[in-house]
Structure 1
């Protein structure tokens, strides 16, 4: 009987311990569920800077290697500048020639002003001659009527007066011609000045292209995806490499839409990645994406179909990494991580409140 009771007692004890263990585990799970929101659909990202050429030409030098750390302004690639230097010399010569043409037009304009003054003086002289001839005609005309002078003399005086009047008209026509010439020089100067400005712009463009033969790092980072080689012909816009700012990495965590209601800006986050084992990194909720990931897909999902099945969508949440953490600078974009958000802190605006002025203020405080 004792042996039989012992055989019955062991399963009861084991069952009881199992129930207690399951109950304790469930209690712990429920407690953690109330305190935290978790997801393993999260990845490290960084604002990579693609390095591309702004001009076309052959690569003369590549001065960086794969995975090399560079500083802002450091020379990365040099493109052969010979062709651009020749273009610059040609543009400078063209600009100098057009500037000389402008000076030549100015010289002609000054000469025309002198000619206009000369023609104006000629008009005054012709008018004086015409006035004298008119006075002579009046005097000899009166004498001819009284018979004191011969008709031939009167005719000669009339011819002189008409000749003087024609001289006035001729002088005025010459003056007007000089004025028209001066006006045409003004138009020619405006055209030449415009051509000279275009030539100077071509010089500046050639100088800018010459400076762009040296491609420098816009930001500090590590060289990645280096595809450029010496002797390669590059064109504007073609990516040659990327710079990854490792010290500015952040985490994008894709939470289910059933989880985001408890998330608030500024809530503390624990970040864990397989690359660092059990070591964790601290961070805070930075911002919420304006739409779910499906909305930004190359081919958006079309839900207006008859066989629709509701699936919980995921909303990307940006998590700012605490830069004081020892492992913050060691995060590499693309690493998968697990995040755990402490939802007990309710100081910041919630997902539903983001967009209000108070939320923007709280967001700035969370990123500082």
Structure 2
């Protein structure tokens, strides 16, 4: 393509003056080739060292990371840890064995008590009356046994008298029989003697039955001790029960600990037998229940050392694995899971592990239900497991 240049019209073109070169200004000297070549040769070794250092870092850093990871993996696996752990203390439900109206309350909420301390009392008057009635019944039973012994003696005396009468009637009948056989008396004279003998024999039989009845009333042993008679033993048991009810009207602490939930216990309140009215937390027996996953149980053994960290306090406690639970927690639920159906999703189960706390640990601050983190030292790292140790 060619360009065509037209001449400018008059008035369109103007002259632009150009500046003249300053002859005094020196021209910039062009670097000589030998100098440039010298500088390049000096920088080349430094760049080579930098590249070598970079290559070493690129290789060594991943190796160090891999080695460190392998070291942590092989030396790890020795400790099994769970934060699903809680402080446990025995809890006793307090109730009265007998019914009654509260007459006295001796404790307040969260009060520390010792075993045997009186917690509250029920009105004892009805039970004192029952004890008096039982004492009277016992005395009556003893009197009855003595009367039975007298009746037995009377029956024996009646039997002896009847036996003597039989002997007399038998002798009279024998004489009459002899006279009849000799022809002195008629046969009709034997009727009265025979009838009298039969009556005497019947009296003996009756007296013998009376003796047997009196002996049976004495338990088959006429010489039985009065307090060994069944009727007396029954009366003594009734008295013991009445005395026990009287004693149970005073409710004592079954163990040492802290009383809780007694705010609703008031004087004048009627309490039915067996109704739970308060709780006692035993502070002298404390342990940890750690719920480990079933995948962590392979290396847990009774007697392994344990480190315990309670969330509420910074103190680190030490303990020992006491026992492993008999079944997972789901097995003791009200409605155990039925996994035989088709709608089944595998869920990792947890097994409760009983951990005792060393006696040297400070247990005063521990409260039942506190959360804790439990770490068990199995004594075997991953490397030991791989080597079969």
TM-score category of the 2 structures, normalised to the smaller one: 0.7 to 0.9
What is the rounded CA distance, in whole Å, between the counterparts of 2:261 and 2:66 in structure 1? 52
CA contact (8 A) 2:78 2:380 kept: no
Map 1:89-100 onto structure 2 (within 5 A): 89-100=132-143
Residues 1:250 and 2:287 are matched in the alignment: yes
Point out the more displaced range, 250-259 or 19-28.
19-28
Map 1:199-348 onto structure 2 (within 5 A): 199-226=235-262, 227-277=264-314, 279-325=315-361, 327-344=362-379
Deviations 1:254-287 (A, max 9, x none): 111111112121111111112112x200011111
User: Unpaired segments of 5 or more residues in structure 2?
Assistant: 1-46, 48-53, 221-225, 382-389
Point out the more displaced range, 27-36 or 209-218.
27-36
Aligned to 1:67: 110
Residues 1:177 and 2:188 are matched in the alignment: no
- The CA deviation at 1:90 is 1.6
What is the rounded CA distance, in whole Å, between the counterparts of 1:220 and 1:114 in structure 2? 65
What is the rounded CA distance, in whole Å, between the counterparts of 1:317 and 1:292 in structure 2? 10
Deviations 1:37-64 (A, max 9, x none): 1111110111222222111111211222
CA contact (8 A) 2:131 2:239 kept: yes
Quick one: which of 131, 134, 140 aligns to 2:174? 131
Aligned to 1:145: none
What is the rounded CA distance, in whole Å, between the counterparts of 1:283 and 1:76 in structure 2? 34
- The CA deviation at 1:295 is 1.2
CA contact (8 A) 2:77 2:380 kept: no
Q: 1:305 to 1:172 in 2, by over 3 A?
A: closer
CA contact (8 A) 1:55 1:209 kept: yes
What is the rounded CA distance, in whole Å, between the counterparts of 2:281 and 2:345 in structure 1? 40
- The CA deviation at 1:207 is 1.1
Segments ≥4 residues shifted beyond 6 Å: 18-25
Larger radius of gyration: 2
Give the TM-score taking structure 1 as reference length. Answer: 0.77
Quick one: which of 152, 163, 181 aligns to 2:192? 163
Q: 1:196 to 1:286 in 2, by over 3 A?
A: same
User: Unpaired segments of 5 or more residues in structure 1?
Assistant: 6-11, 143-153, 347-368
Q: 1:307 to 1:228 in 2, by over 3 A?
A: same
CA contact (8 A) 1:322 1:328 kept: no
Q: 1:19 to 1:296 in 2, by over 3 A?
A: farther
Aligned pairs, number: 319
Q: 1:305 to 1:200 in 2, by over 3 A?
A: same
Point out the more displaced range, 220-229 or 259-268.
220-229
